[in-house]
Amino acid sequence: MYEANEKRYDTMQYNRCGRSGLKLPAVSLGLWHNFGSNAGFDNMQAMCYTAFDNGITHFDLANNYGPVYGAAEENFGRILKKGLGQYRDEIVVSTKAGYDMWPGPYGDWGSKKYLVASLDQSLKRMGLEYVDIFYHHRPDPETPIEETARALDGIVRSGKALYVGISNYNKEQTIAIAALFQEMGTPFIINQRKYSMFDRTIEKDGLKNYAASHGIGVITFCPLEQGILTDRYIDGIPEDSRIRTDGRFLKEDAVNEETIWKVRNLSAIAKDRGQSLAQMALAWILRDGDITSVLIGASRPAQILDNIGMLSNLTFTEEERKRIDAVLRG
């Protein structure tokens, strides 16, 4: 039987999620990739154990993470049952609904019927009575936002989720649904958005500053741009890279001459800081305290250990900030 590391909380940093009572680890583990039906279970289990042994208490899923849809939740449920579940009260489990999940008009977007049914299925797959955070995965342009907000509020009041989150909502959409949650007294605590050195949209659209000033947590995904912000592509595209093996999320033209120039120069800055490029890229996201947690993905336990190594140097000097910004401007 799995026994967690007794020193698991010694080095991890925990940040308050908005104005809620919930704290999230500075680094959370996302199960978007490498937890589907095409991955090895022993490796998945080892990654979850490694994460928890090092203070990563938050595991982030969605109904359609796979392949196949639902597979990541099923596999995480097996991991809970085989040992991790004995620490359920020390773990934050989040899942989402909002993208296509099953055929027909009721398996997508943001209707109450879809959200309630999807969470029921997710709980069954994971063998849980509740999740800690339930997200609406993306804004729905057709369903009234009031319906989506009331559905999420009702889910919390039913006891099937403790907190509510949204994902991929911009500043204006966040303001609109936050007002409804405030009116109903819904424990809305977090927005999940993409953010990296190469994608600063949440700065440009104002969401980052708005969330920080209004007590809304922000957790970010794709912090390493599907591996571009690592040393992996400095000398070209490896044959076993995600570009070669799965081109759905990372296209070959993304690794162009300009990008490689930036990566090489950023890697040099990271070396001066005593970090890998990946570690610096993760630390950069947490540099000003506005981001609650950064979601990492992994294909093996060693990657998790390497990523959390960035916790030893989260501070950037003014000179380092200027050097990084100069490289990013090109």
What is the DSSP secondary-structure string of 91-148? -EEEEEE-S--SSSTTSSTT-HHHHHHHHHHHHHHHT-S-EEEEEE-S--SSS-HHHH
Let me know: does 72 contact 95? Beta carbons within 8 Å: no
The secondary structure element, H or E, covering residue 205 is none
CATH 1.10.1740.10 fits 14-230+288-313, yes or no: no
Task: Measure the CA–CA gap between 134 and 115, rounded to whole angstroms.
Answer: 10
CA distance 60 to 32: 8
* Mean pLDDT of successive 10-residue stretches along the chain, which has 330 residues: 97 98 98 97 98 99 98 98 98 98 98 98 98 99 98 98 98 98 98 98 98 98 95 74 58 79 96 98 98 98 98 97 96
Scanning the structure block, which residue is given the tokens 């800055």? 269
DSSP characters over 30-95? E-SSS-STTS-HHHHHHHHHHHHHTT--EEE--TT-SSSTTHHHHHHHHHHHHTGGGGGGG-EEEE
User: Given this model, what pLDDT does residue 248 score?
Assistant: 60
Q: Which of 99, 110, 177, 191 is nearest to 143 (CA)?
A: 110
Separation CA 105–CA 256 (nearest Å) = 40
CB 243 within 8 A of CB 253: no
Which residues, at least 6 apart from 312, have a Cβ–Cβ distance to it below 8 Å? none
Cβ–Cβ < 8 Å for 307, 279: yes
Q: Would you say the C-alpha torsion 223, 226, 231, 234 has a positive or negative sign? A: negative
Q: H or E element: which one contains 249?
A: none
Angle at CA of residue 85, ends 82 and 89, nearest 5°: 170
Burial annotation 128-138 (CB, 10 A radius, 16+ → b, else e): bebbbbbbbbb
Residue among 46, 160, 4, 24 at smallest CA distance from 92: 24
Q: What are phi and psi of 134, to 5 degrees?
A: -120, 125
Tokens of 163: 């907190």
Q: What is the pLDDT of residue 284?
A: 98
CB burial string 16-37: b at 16+ within 10 A, e below: ebbebebbbbbbbbbbbbbbbe
